[in-house]
Amino acid sequence: MGNPLLRVEAKPFTLEEILSEETEILLRDMWDSLEEAGGIGLAAPQIGISKQLAVIKLSEESYRYPDMETTEPYVIFNPQITVLDKEVQGFWEGCLSVPGLRGYVERPRKVRIDYLDENADERTVEVEDFLATVFQHELDHLIGMLYVDRMEDVSTLMYEDEMILQEVSEEEILD
């Protein structure tokens, strides 16, 4: 947080760029970074690339998130997001670009994302509940937004150490 790249709108990929060797290397780098950090989602601006790309994968093997169901690995280029259910749900979000902190964020509970996959094929996915929050969090990175911008009550911002002391339910935590 504080790096200007996290605050600008990322540029879309051309089809040629998606299929390039350079992007293949970038993708490998992103999956490696995500695994190393023990996270569940990462957007290209977080590693210094201001382009519209994010990767997401929830894993039930994650020791930090024991109650998650494993999902397929999502590779998302040039996403368009549509809210399908305006009713909101709240989770304690964290972010690899805002280390050590968590904050309570409410977002729509169901969204559709139209995007291109790593083969530059058009894909559509409808997601709800926790996964809908994960998608919205990651795709916010592509329009220069961080979860702290989405917080209604900044007094819920807290250090992870403090959160453990306060015994906030683990299944509500997102990172």
CA 102 remoteness from chain centre: 14
Of 106-165, which residues contact Zn ion (CB under 5 A)? Answer: none
Give me the catalytic one of 17, 24, 138, 152. 138
- Reading the block at residue 174, the tokens are 């997102």
Residue 95 contacts Zn ion per CB under 5 A:
yes
> How near is the Cβ of 45 to Zn ion at its closest, in Å?
9
Which of these segments, 19-27, 57-65, 89-97, 152-160, binds Zn ion (CB under 5 A)?
A: 89-97
Choices 76-84, 93-101, 108-116, 160-168 (CB under 5 A): range interacting with Zn ion: 93-101
- Assess contact for 84 and 110: CB atoms under 8 A: yes
Check: CB of residue 74 under 8 Å from CB of residue 57.
yes
State in angstroms the smallest separation of the CB of 138 from Zn ion.
7
Min dist CB 137 to Zn ion, Å, is: 6
How many angstroms separate the first and last alpha carbons of the chain? 15
Cβ of residue 99: shortest distance to Zn ion, in angstroms? 10
Check if 138 is active-site. Answer: yes
Angle at 114 between CA 113 and CA 119, to 5 degrees: 120
- DSSP conformation class of 73: P
Residue where the block lists tokens 């996270």: 39
C-beta closer to Zn ion: residue 95 or 111: 95
Single-letter amino acid, residue 65: Y
SS3 103: strand
Q: By C-beta, is 16 or 175 nearer to Zn ion?
A: 175
Alpha-carbon span 78 to 65, nearest angstrom: 28
Piece of 9-17, 62-70, 82-90, 95-103 that binds Zn ion (CB under 5 A): 95-103
Task: Kindly tell me which of 120 and 151 has the beta carbon lying closer to Zn ion.
Answer: 151
Catalytic positions, written as ranges:
138
* Binding region for Zn ion (CB under 5 A): 95
